Amino acid sequence: MRYIIIGAGAVGGAVGGRLAEAGHEVVLVARGAQYAALRDGGLRLRVPEGEFTYRLPVVEGPAALGVLRADDVLVLAVKTQDTEGALDAWGPAPVDGGGTAAERLPLLCAQNGVEGQRVALRRFRHVYGVCVWLPATFVEPGLVSAAGSPLTGILHLGVYPHGTDETARRIAADLEKSRFEAPVVPDLARWQYAKLLSNLANAVEAVAGPVEGEEALALVERARAEGVAVLEAAGIAYTSPEEQHEVRGDKITLLPLDDAPRGGGSSWQSLARATGTIEADYLNGEIVLLGRLHGVPTPLNELLQGLANTFARERRAAGSLPVGELARLADEAVAAAEE
């Protein structure tokens, strides 16, 4: 199978680089400065074993590949807010032997949150979800850092909305030869909603800096408590911290990388790169949406969603809001919701 990585950023670059290292055929899809850097200098992947450069085919869209192959696997690794544009481009692409990518090819949604795969299923017949546990950083064009060891990441796979099949197992086998663990599970949503709860911290980190110290940790716990209340009201199952720890154990330890400090997670990186957008609508905003649907107040997640979007839109510096100020705003938001 040939893997077409749509969105060769932190997650896409790490997955694409590790697949290429293991001998799999990989095409990277990027745009702007990242496209230029990958085209001119290759993908630089900085990992605990060192820095490696992979000279892989890189394209801006499907036209550059002509007719897609019947054994192509599309890995959608763009942020959720960029999903529609990617599907618009790749869905109609012709496939050798007839039909389109949307009709014939598997699409793996390697994204945070749960919305991307729902959007994809409107266009693509064969959609697979991925619960991404892959600490990686992309802030400099052409360079992706992934500090996990001995595994680079754990990627739970499953047919969306539920189930497993042979395609998922074949993809998992390729990933497991490429320094990933890739359990194929019929109930992927349980893992994704648990990951969503942990990703509620992304907005705190993005606007107020590292989640360290009592105030920041308390804010994250309060945001998660709103998330738990919403999922329980909606009857949505999620894996417990104990079940997650049992699966992950000590399989991924973050090791220091030369000249590559890990500044923050995916949302922090969006602000650091001044992209103008952020994924908060599909993380904290997912909790806000479910809260409104099921009558559960979510004032803190609503505040975090709004602040993250404002920071992205106005291109404010990542981590520039004092955590004490964020805590004050949070208290005000919660008090207003209780009136």
Beta strand residue intervals within the chain, DSSP E: 2-6, 25-29, 43-47, 50-54, 58-59, 72-76, 107-109, 127-133, 136-140, 143-146, 148-150, 153-159, 180-181, 252-254
Report the C-alpha gap between 192 and 131 in whole angstroms: 5
* 127: β partners: 107
266-315 per-position pLDDT tens digit: 999 999 999 999 999 999 999 999 999 999 999 999 999 999 999 999 99
Pairing of strands 43-47, 143-146: parallel
Per DSSP, what are the bridge partners of residue 129?
A: 109, 158
Residue 261 pLDDT level (bands cut at 50, 70, 90): low
Using an 8 Å Cβ cutoff, are 57 and 33 in contact? no
* pLDDT for 130: 98
Residue 162: the pLDDT is 95
Closest to 182 (Cα-Cα) out of 193, 167, 199? 167
User: Does pLDDT of 262 surpass 70?
Assistant: no
What is the average per-residue pLDDT within 94-112?
A: 98
pLDDT digits (tens, 9 = 90+) for 240-258: 999 999 998 899 999 988 7
Burial of 115 per CB tally in 10 Å (0-12, 13-18, 19+)? buried
Q: Percentage of the chain with pLDDT > 70?
A: 99
Confidence of residue 339 (pLDDT cuts 50, 70, 90): confident
Q: What is the mean pLDDT of the chain?
A: 96
Q: Within a 10 A sphere around the Cβ of 245, how many other Cβ atoms?
A: 11
- Residue-wise over 66-95: b if at least 16 C-beta within 10 A, else e? eebbeebbbbbbbbbbbbeebbebbbebeb
Per the listing, tokens 């103008």 go with: 276
Tell me what percent of the chain is helix, strand and coil, each rounded to the nearest 5. 50, 20, 35
Report pLDDT for 92. 98
Say yes or no to pLDDT of 236 above 60: yes
On the question of pLDDT at 98 being above 90, the answer is: yes
Q: What is the 3-state secondary structure (H, E, C) of 45-85?
A: EEECCEEEEECCCEECCHHHHCCECCCEEEEECCCHHHHHH
pLDDT band with cut points at 50, 70 and 90 for residue 263: confident
Question: 67-89, pLDDT tens digit by residue?
Answer: 999 999 999 999 999 999 999 99
Under 8 Å CB-to-CB from 188, ≥6 apart: which residues?
129, 130, 131, 156, 157, 158, 159, 160, 162
Q: For residue 90, is pLDDT > 80?
A: yes
CB-based contact 205:270 (threshold 8 Å):
no
Residue 192 has a pLDDT of 98
Half-sphere exposure of 114 (CA within 13 A, CB side): 23
Does residue 260 surpass a pLDDT of 70?
A: no
